[in-house]
Structure 1
Amino acid sequence: MKITLRQLSYFRALAQARNFGRAAELANVSQPALSMQIKELEAILGVALVERLPRDVRLTRAGREVLARAERILSETMELESSARRQGLQAALTLGMIPTIAPYLLPGMLARLRAGDITRDLRLREAQTSDLLAALREGRLDAVVLADPVAAPDLVISPLFQDRFLLAGSQGRLGGPDPGHRALEPTALNPDHLLLLDDGHCLADQALAVCAIDRRQTRLDLGASTLSTLCGLVAQGFGLTLLPELAVRAEAAGGQGIVLRRFARPEPFRQIALLRRASSDQGAWFDDLGVYLCAAGEELIAAARLRCPPV
């Protein structure tokens, strides 16, 4: 037989109460059950732990030594359980994000982690959707943040927030912010004017789907790999692009020469989501991470809607 945590817990209760009946009440167990566990503990150790007096229970010398060790063991056990519950955002985490999300969402998320006194060893990989999904499934990533993920039985998808698309262009092309308050229809955009990211970026595919355009219809293939590059070209009047609200604060700040217009309702959007493997642990880390990501995203979206209010 081996010593159990239950036996140590009952013995501590007995040492505190100095009475089998009161100890049983403290331990929320029947008195015979508590008494049996104490006897088993004494049998395992081969020593008497208490002196059983008519109206009192007194620890023996061996009992005092066992109690001191039991206190340490139970304290360490409680700390281990507490640490496991807090483990959500304390342990190392390898997180993947697509390039049209990472530079905008990550700073706000990290700031909230610091403010929450979360000491997490965070490793980030920025890559396109297909590469991130492969790494997630192979166990090289713990979670990924994607846009419009496709449901799969081996993945758990937690929606975070909707990121609406705005039309970005120079003042020369758009004529100022929403002139005449005319609602824009995505399908009415001229494909010749639309600037897109390289093939493989899901944002490019989403923009084409929103505008019902075949990439072969677009004439300006500039090989841009970042939204920053596209916005720099747009500000110089080279064309138009679809800009997610998440990127507005960074890419279309005042004075950068970019005019923003909203589309007609229902506004096109992409769904930002957090994913993990269905086989991975279901600890609090996943939900906690989602909370921090949502808070960072909602702040950026609020700023975008202040800059370009919904119509």
Structure 2
Amino acid sequence: MINLPTPRQLRYLTALAESRHFGRAALACNVTQSTLSAGIQELESLLGAALVDRTRRKTVLTPLGQAMAAKAADLLRQAEEMVLLARTQSEPLAGPLHLGVIPTVSPFLLPRVLPALRRKLPKLKLYLREDLTERLVEQLQAGKLDLLLLALPIEAAAVQTWPLFPDAFRFACRKEHPLAGRGKVALPALAQESLLLLEDGHCLRDHALDACHLPRPAKPESLAATSLHTLVQMVDNGLGVTLLPDLALDAGILRGTNVVTRPLVEPAAKNPPSRTIGLAWRAGTQRASEFKLFGEALLAAMSKQKIQKTEG
């Protein structure tokens, strides 16, 4: 019978792979450096191969060590999912959930729905991480996040997505802008305008350009914003026009400004240009049904918030 590595040894290896330093890895595992070093040596003896290159001043994993660390992370993640799956059979959405959210969604949606979610799911411990799509997907694939709330579509290996709702784009400009006098703004009119966008790396930028069938700039713009709030201030200062999602508008992002919005229309399309907000999780996870329950709870909280807003 083959002797197998212990979860403790696997945890030591993954911590060392992440930190590239014995001291920091030991701290992350809450053990002494000598204990962690001994655990790595035990694992190397068990496998009959070197996992760490100890001939250099820096801690460097051998190619085999890197491959073993990746497999160790997968095994630990699967073991954790076994425990969570057993727990959710008796009580779904109870316990920790690490959720990553993009910055063009998080500040505009979460403050409005989290109170209702906490009331509906009192045993859910929600840990939030806000970041750009690319980095969130990397953390999801690495097992550092359980679930993502972001704009679809995304291109990512071994990731499953589930759409929740459309988020329409609207044309935004100052009150005195010529297009502000129109009831609707046709997409061809945007070609003649100084269109301000979020800087490269924000998925909203690409989704807005794709939804409105606009070409990507041949070179980086001299004026690009780091957030939707900055984008609104640039428009308010007369630097150009922009496209804003309904989520941000419903949250009051234009409050206190001279910026107005108008619906966007495309003659050949039935629906206005929009992005799709949805969830993403690792393909093959045993928690997919639980994540869908979270999505349904999120939609219910949004619906309740809109009803309260209308009645108020």
Quote the residue 2:55 is aligned against: none
1:206 maps to 2:207: yes
Q: Which has more strand, going by share of residues?
A: 2
For residues 11-59 of structure 1, the C-alpha deviation after alignment (integer angstroms, 9 at most, x for no partner) is xxxxxxxxxxxxxxxxxxxxxxxxxxxxxxxxxxxxxxxxxxxxxxxxx
Instruction: Compute the displacement of 1:219 (Å).
Output: 8.4
Unaligned runs of 5+ in 2: 1-83
Quote the residue 2:280 is aligned against: 275
1:131 maps to 2:132: no
1:162 maps to 2:163: no
Query: CA 1:278–1:161 in 2, change beyond 3 Å: closer, same or farther?
Result: same
Alignment partners' CA distance in 2, 1:304 and 1:220: 38
Quote the residue 1:10 is aligned against: none
1:286 maps to 2:291: yes
For residues 238-267 of structure 1, the C-alpha deviation after alignment (integer angstroms, 9 at most, x for no partner) is 211110001103344454222110012530
Quote the residue 1:263 is aligned against: 264
Query: CA 1:283–1:212 in 2, change beyond 3 Å: closer, same or farther?
Result: closer
Instruction: Compute the displacement of 1:157 (Å).
Output: 1.4
1:186 maps to 2:191: no
Quote the residue 2:229 is aligned against: 228
TM-score, length basis structure 2: 0.62
Paired-residue identity, %: 36
Instruction: Give the number of aligned pairs.
Output: 224
1:105 maps to 2:109: yes
Alignment partners' CA distance in 2, 1:88 and 1:130: 29
Query: CA 1:188–1:211 in 2, change beyond 3 Å: closer, same or farther?
Result: farther
Alignment partners' CA distance in 1, 2:124 and 2:306: 26
Instruction: Compute the displacement of 1:106 (Å).
Output: 1.4
Unaligned runs of 5+ in 1: 1-79, 306-311
Higher Cα Rg, which structure:
1
Query: CA 1:163–1:81 in 2, change beyond 3 Å: closer, same or farther?
Result: closer
Query: CA 1:116–1:190 in 2, change beyond 3 Å: closer, same or farther?
Result: same
8 Å contact kept, 1:192–1:220? no
Alignment partners' CA distance in 2, 1:119 and 1:99: 26
Q: Secondary structure at the match of 1:238?
A: coil
TM-score, length basis structure 1: 0.63
Q: Secondary structure at the match of 2:199?
A: coil
Amino acid at match of 1:281: Q
Instruction: Compute the displacement of 1:162 (Å).
Output: 0.5
Amino acid at match of 1:106: L
